[in-house]
Every structure is written in structure tokens, then in C-alpha cells.
Amino acid sequence: MPQTRQLAAIMFTDIVGYTALMGEGEQKAFQILQKNRELQKPIIEKYNGRWIKELGDGVMASFITVSDAVHAAKQIQEQCLKSGEFSLRIGIHVGEIVFEGEDVFGDAVNIAARIQAIASVGGIFVSEAVHYAVANKPEIKSSFVKTEILKNVKEPANIYEIIVEQLKPPTTSRNPINKKITTVVKKKITVPVAAWIIGALVLLIAVAVFLNKEKISANSGVQTLAVLPFINESGNADGEYLSDGMTETLTSNLSQLPKIKVKARTSVFRYKGKALVLDEKLSEAHNSLAYVLLYYDWDFAAAEEEFKRAIELNPRYAVAHQWYANLLTAMGRWNEQFNNSNEHKN
């Protein structure tokens, strides 16, 4: 298949909390996905963009000019905020890309995807190249965010955010999937505050355990579980005890579930800060690894191998079939996607 190279601005968008929404109900999740398409496609076309493909709940598009990409991103976020039904993260980078048929490749694609992954909820994060390309546009304002080491990118990248005055985090309860809140801890957590947080967590877990223990014990096939140590990402070493306290609280309260053995704190804390080896015989492990490879590493080939292994181990594992179908759809392999769906139904 012939390849063409050209300079282009690449934009990635991603629905915040979509995986959690899938767990709540597929029908609702697919409705959000359809609304996302209906919102973005006309705006991308308006700014002379090219809809490349969908990657699960994400969208990749290319633009001839950087300003078109930024204007499109701003309008998409504005319309998303008005709808109040879901939130997006958007990342943009400009560079040389390779067009092959209906797909695109290149370092610029990888960098744009990485930038989108670290964008704030409802935000538009861009590379330094994009920042300088629109610096002389009075209607576009940006501010420096941080220097980030992006995966599979050799040099640290300076990240900027496009300022959109109308964009403020939605507070209405109409937004069903804006559940992930990123908090930057700027001050030392005091002991009384930390105690209150842990106390509230204990109470919530205790109530949940009490209300659901019979249902969990009756329907769950899980016999043993472990609560792995939480990681303190606040940048404040003094807050380490809070993350450890949350681990201990969850371990203690989950141990109240009947017929389920919970690993002791001393057994799991040795894994703190360490990577774990996946069980090669567990379908769920391969499926989870495939998800990370697809949506975080953008390694399609490796993700496909893991999805296939998950399905091989458990042919009736619905989630693996669904996520594998998303991959096949994103790659335009419609016949294989159709066959995968039929195999699952059978």
C-alpha cells in the first residue's frame, strides 16, 4: 500500500471515565459514544480536519494547520461542556506523519496520544511546537503546565494548556461519568484532616460491606484477594501514611466478607512500588494487559496478541470479546470484527 508523508497537526480526544461507564451498563456507554461522534465529526469537518479513526472511546483526527486543530479542540470542549453529559481530554501535537490508506503513523501520532493521556479533565494540552505555532494568534492563549517525560519519547517535552475561558469543570449531576478527580496536594495534610478522611473511608466501606456482603458471597467466584498498596502521588512524602492507611482500612473491612480470604497487610506491603508478574493462565490478566497496551502504549500488534490469548483461555469472556472488537473496528477490519462478535454469541 502506498505511503505519503506530510506535516500535520494530530488531535486525540478521549472520554473521561468511559471504562467505568461500560461497567455500569453497555447501552448507556454506547449512547455516550454515539453522542461523542455526533458532537465531534461536524466540528472536525468545519475546520478542514480529517477523521482518522476511533480507538475505543477515543478519536484521532488530523488537520492541515495547527490553528485549525486548536480551534476545533476549543469548540469541541465548549460543546461538550454545554451538553453536560460527558467530559473529554484532548491532546495536540504537530509533526511529520505517514499516511497509509486510511491510517496514519509516526512519532507525531505517538506524542499526541501521550499528551492527551496526561491532559486534565475538560482540558486541551498541547506540545511546545503547537504552542509556538499559535503564539501570534490573539484569539488563542496558552500557558505552560509542566515538563513531562513521555513514554517512548527520547527528550522531555514541555507541555502547555490552551486557555478556554468558558471551560470550567461541570458541577451538575447530569454528568454521569465525570467521576475521576485529579487533586494536586500543595499543602501538608494535617493529622486531623487525614484522620477525618480515613474515618469517612472506613464508614463508607463498612456500610458497603454490610449492605452487600450476602450478595457478594453468593455470586462471587473469588476466594482470595489482596489489596495492593496505594501509591502516594502528591509529591509530599509526609502524606505517605495516608496512602498506607487507606490500604490497611480496605484490607480490614474486606476481611469481613464471608467465605473470602484477604491477604494480610504484611504480605502485600512487600510489593509496594514493585511491578507484579501476571498469571499467564488467567484470561482476565491478559485482557487487562491488552487494554493497557492498546490505550496507553498504542501498541496495536501486542494488544491484539494479548486479546487473542485472553479469548483462547476463556472463549466466553464477554469483556475480552468487546475490547477486541473495539480494536478490530479501530483498525477497519470489519469482517474480523463481525466474526468475533458471532463467535461470542455462539
| 90 & 112 share domain | yes
Are 207 and 111 members of one domain?
Answer: no
pLDDT for 89 beyond 90: yes
Is there a domain that residue 184 lies in? no
Mean pLDDT, all residues of the chain:
77
Domain check: are 145 and 203 in the same one?
Answer: no
Is 225 within the bounds of a domain?
A: yes
pLDDT at position 5 is: 85
Do 155 and 7 lie in one domain? The reply is yes
State the pLDDT at residue 40: 95
What's the confidence (pLDDT) of residue 4? Answer: 82
* Distance in angstroms (rounded) separating the CA atoms of residues 248 and 252: 6
C-alpha cell, 205: 466501606
| Interval 188-229: pLDDT, tens | 444 445 555 555 555 555 555 555 555 444 444 556 777 777
β pairing state of 124-127 and 88-100: parallel
Judgement on whether residues 158 and 99 belong to the same structural domain of the protein: yes
Q: Taking the complete model, does pTM exceed 0.85, yes or no?
A: no
The verdict on residue 170 lying in a domain is: no
Rounded mean pLDDT, 69-84: 92
Of the candidates 217, 237, 271, which is a domain's last residue? 271
Q: Are residues 26 and 156 in the same domain?
A: yes
Q: Does residue 304 have a pLDDT over 70?
A: yes
Whether the per-residue pLDDT at 231 is higher than 50: the answer is yes
Give the range with max mean pLDDT: 32-41, 94-103, 151-160.
Answer: 32-41
Q: Is the pLDDT of residue 9 over 70?
A: yes
Give the count of domains, the chain: 3
Q: Is there a single domain that holds both residue 327 and residue 237? A: no
pLDDT digits (tens, 9 = 90+) for 236-267: 666 666 777 777 777 777 777 777 777 776 66
Query: Residue 181 domain-assigned?
Result: no
Using a 10 angstrom Cβ sphere, with 0-12 exposed, 13-18 middle and 19 or more buried, the burial of residue 322 is middle
Expressed as residue numbers, the domain containing 31 is 3-163
pLDDT confidence of residue 174: 40
> 158 and 221: one domain?
no
- With vertex at residue 328, the alpha carbon angle to CA 324 and CA 333, rounded to the nearest 5 degrees, is 150
pLDDT 10s digits, 31-51: 888 999 999 999 999 999 999
CATH of the domain at 321: 1.25.40.10
Give the residue-averaged pLDDT of 52-71. Answer: 90
Share of the chain above pLDDT 90, in %: 25
Q: Is 182 a member of any domain?
A: no
Residue 200 and residue 141 share a domain: no
> What CATH number corresponds to the domain at position 24?
3.30.70.1230
333 and 264 fall within a common domain: no
Within a domain: 126: yes
Beta strands in the chain (DSSP E): 3-15, 49-55, 58-63, 88-100, 103-105, 124-127, 141-148, 157-163, 224-225, 261-262
Q: Quick one: pLDDT band at residue 131, thresholds 50, 70, 90?
A: very high
Evaluate if residue 138 carries a pLDDT over 70.
Answer: yes
- Asked which of 243, 271, 299 is the last residue of a domain, the reply is 271
Q: Are residues 197 and 153 in the same domain?
A: no
Pairwise CA distance, residues 70 & 64, whole Å: 11
Residue 40 and residue 104 in one domain: yes
